[in-house]
Amino acid sequence: MTAVFSQSAQVYDRLCRHKDYAGASATVCAIIDRLTPGATTLLDAGCGTGHHLSHLAHRFTAEGLDLSTEMLDVARTRCRGVAFHQRSLVEFDLGKRFDVVTCLFGSIAYATDEASLRRAIRSLADHLQPGGLLIVEPWVTPDRFVSGRLVMDTVDDADLKVARLYVTARRGNVSIYDSTYLVGTADGVASFTERQELGLFGDDVYRQAFADAGLEVVDDTGDLFGYGLYVCSIRNGSLSPETY
């Protein structure tokens, strides 16, 4: 079984092209403009192939962070001029702070247990400027996860055919996706398997992790892809109740 995204990075964007990254990024920008309109710098942690950054970099001086070499290779091609860092989301130190830090599309769940989640959120918080915003899009909560669901995603383009099949599974509070890929190009057909493990955390666990990192949730009304959104600032920071 291959490491996550080591082979699938090259077909990831085709499989996800139905996602409205432009609309999601516009929603993020609207939240930032409402709560901290002077923001100019942004870090997208768990940036993947850079879909969000391709839009956010038009509005902010933006940087990206991801652990996958292959995903970052795609992101660098997509987002020319954006600085990228290959680091683990769970624990990283870039030696700088940003007006906004985002962690979107459920990437926070690559911290698969509560201790890792707390370290990840602490790392994200440590990269915030005073008065800055942390915007986290969580993964599905334990009560919403369904085990035993058979899924097939496909691409049927002239130059690329992809079939990705998996059955959802759960081990404790970890969701497991053992995917089998069949990928066809003019050069031939290849197959490989890949496992993703994503932590399942309830609202109370997220909020406690934010509090432990010295953050307060100032807005939880937004949504990008159906999983909700936490917008946090440093506790006792410059955001006042009337601001939000």
Q: What is the mean pLDDT of the chain?
A: 95
Looking at domain 150-199, its CATH superfamily turns out to be CAC2371-like domains (2.20.130.10)
Give the SS3 label for residue 14: helix
User: What is each CA distance from 55 to 108, 127, 167, 213, in whole angstroms?
Assistant: 20, 21, 33, 29
Per-residue pLDDT of the chain (244 residues; tens, 9 = 90+): 667 899 999 999 999 999 999 999 999 999 999 999 999 999 999 999 999 999 999 999 999 999 999 999 999 999 999 999 999 999 999 999 999 999 999 999 999 999 999 999 999 999 999 999 999 999 999 999 999 999 999 999 999 999 999 999 999 999 999 999 999 999 999 999 999 999 999 999 999 999 999 999 999 999 999 999 999 999 875 443 333 3
Regarding pTM above 0.85, the answer is yes
Please state, in angstroms and rounded to a whole number, the distance separating the CA atoms of residues 24 and 42: 15
Assigned architecture for domain 9-141+201-243: 3-Layer(aba) Sandwich (3.40)
**Three-class SS of 77-145:** HHCCCCEEEECCCCCCCCCCCEEEEEECCCHHHHCCCHHHHHHHHHHHHCCEEEEEEEEECCCCCCCCC
**Domain range list for the chain:** 9-141+201-243, 150-199
